[in-house]
Structure 1
Amino acid sequence: MVNHSFPVDFLLLGFSEHPGLERILFMVVSISYLLTLVGNTLIILLSMLDPRLHSPMYFFLSNLSFLDLCFTTSCVPQMLVHLWGPRKTISFLGCSVQLFIFLFLGTTECVLLTVMAFDRYVAVCQPLHYATIIHPRLCWQLAAVAWVMGLVQSVVQTPPTLRLPFCPHRQIDDFACEVPSLIQLSCGDTTYNEIQLAVSSFIFLVMPLTLILISYGSIAWAVLRINSAIAWRKALGTCSSHLIVITLFYSLVIAVYLQPKNPYAQKRGKFFGLFYAVGTPLLNPLIYSLRNKEVKGALRRLLGKDKDSREN
């Protein structure tokens, strides 16, 4: 039986089959969320306040940090409520907003990471022309393209997903409202939605990843032609943080959105989805700060330690 009426709410099952695990996850997610807020806010403040970080790389990085702040805040507070108590429901409106934000910010991040790969390509392969090519106006334009493409993708895919004929039990086997979970909840024909998901995954996952691989292939080829250990170290220092973030992001997104249709894969995808929503926003600022001397230097200057060390 299919429910064609307007749903009052949905039931997010999350990890309710493991009550003991929920309390552990509540503590882990709470700590991770607090660290995410601190880490990404700090990256944004450093990029704004420190003149030495007024460069395209940190402009895009601050966009990524702002995106991560919005993304994790759109799902983690409600996730904590569900993990702590018996209440697991989310209203149809709340689910709609969460789905819209997930699609919007997830797509924006795919495009933004591709833009950052292009920035790294120019920095390594065209260092003498970097300031001319990656000028401030182009940075704003590329960032705007990323955000607009994310918005368009969400506007296009959200309504058809929400118009699906959902089953009466309204139980979503996930911790958040995402396209694969809502398609799985439908008791009607989902062919159009599955085709739309496949097409959007190709456009916003496969194509950006292909462009990123081309960029880094060009970087590797350029460094190989130089055949210099110094050039290798410089290229690695320039690109390593971005490469780690890309590997982490795309591994988790592919695991969540391109998983096979079987119970084991869906359960495994739930944990991947949790780490994607909680772990990546936490790890991104850590990866860039721990592997970046400029960020650590800016933090010391902000705290006044750099001045103190010079005086001593």
Structure 2
Amino acid sequence: MTTTLADGVSTREVREPGRRWLPHWAAGYLFLSPWFLGFFGLTLAPALVSLYLSFTEFDLLRDPRWIGLGNYTRLATNDPKFVAAMRVTFTYVLFAVPLKLIFALSVAMLLNKGVRGLSIYRALFYLPSLLGASVAIAVLWRQLFAGDGLVNQIVLAVFGVQGPAWIADPEYSLYTLVILSIWQFGSPMIIFLAGLRQIPQDVYEAAEMDGVSRRRVFLRITLPLLSPVIFFNAVVQTIDAFKAFTPAFIISDATGGPVNSTLFYTLYLYQEAFAYFRMGYASALAWVLVVIVAIFTVFSFLTSRYWVHYDE
């Protein structure tokens, strides 16, 4: 510590025993150091390396060769599989995300009516969200929708319907993955349920006294007050849908299904990187996906001002 003599002429530095010698802010950065190591070493550095590789031709065996925008030019003008992967991915996002959110909101509203054993139902409905992305569930799903699977042999057979070979039929294979995504509705359901619990009950009581119909209560009260939660779930679920990989990889045996009907963008990226060892081209694909997700996120935030209502 620094001490000043009475006449203010001289000072001297004295370190007291046990006195803290680090600045007061250093302890916080010390505790954050594992996160900094993980962020810079495992996230930022690999991302920058992949950005560099996206401008090169690299096959893991030879040194990267700079080709400029060659990968991006090929991607935009001479890659029919890229077009197929984009079409499959956007179709999946278009169907899976809205249907999952609608189903999750419907179940959350039912549970919000005071169901007995609510904690048990929440756990049971949330469980598929924990297991849905696992390899075991993807294998089970493939068996359920096989030509001789449970869906055809029991569920449809009861009604006398001859079901198709869902996984092998390009008209239906993608929609089996959409159903799998909807089945994982537990995570947005829990968030919807928490949002519904935050809506003041006196608003509903006032609407009931005024004789407002249930449909108008839902459209004019529930949805506007729940719009921040809907916005959050929509953004998160859409990003997750763009990143979907495991179900398509397992169910289609990493081939993209019949006629590339389940060739998700991430699956195509995996094929380019680890099946054909075109790491430079795979890096370009990865950065295109980053740009697509970023554009969607920015667009969502820019348009949210017109339909998302926050409590002042």
> Shared fold (TM-score greater than 0.5)?
no
TM-score w.r.t. length of structure 2: 0.29
**Which protein has the bigger helix share?**
1
TM-score w.r.t. length of structure 1: 0.29
